[in-house]
Amino acid sequence: MEKKPKSKTQKATVAKTPKPRVAKTRAAKAPAASRVFAPPPPRPVISPQERHRRIAEAAYFLALRRGVGQSEPQQNWIDAERQIDADLDLHGIRVG
């Protein structure tokens, strides 16, 4: 005689078979001597005239911000040089 579940919600349990375990392997790395590294791309270059133009423009805007009659033109130029050179260095641009 076959056993029936005691209620409609109770179901017969079926034994689950465990999934087979597969060993994980790492991809083999090439020895350091056989790795090939590409040289870095060349840095962009601007002309000395372009650097001068950028400094002049930055000095002009510094003078406007500080007050045209109230700031020293030489100090504006020096500060603009620092600002432009830092910006060029940050973006990897060299003067050539």
5 is a domain residue: no
What's the CA gap between 63 and 80, in Å, rounded? 10
> In the numeric block, which tokens belong to residue 95?
């003067």
Classify residue 53: in a domain, yes or no.
Answer: yes
Number of domains in the chain: 1
Say what percent of the chain tops pLDDT 90: 51
pLDDT of 34-46, one tens digit each?
A: 778 888 888 899 9
70 within domain boundaries? yes
More confident residue, 23 or 50: 50
90 within some domain: yes
| 3 located within any domain | no
Q: What is the mean pLDDT of residues 16-34?
A: 68
Q: Is residue 69 part of a domain?
A: yes
**Is 77 domain-assigned?**
yes
Q: Does 33 score more than 60 pLDDT?
A: yes
What is the span of the domain harbouring residue 46?
Answer: 41-95
Is residue 48 domain-resident? yes
Q: Could you tell me the two tokens for 22?
A: 């597969």
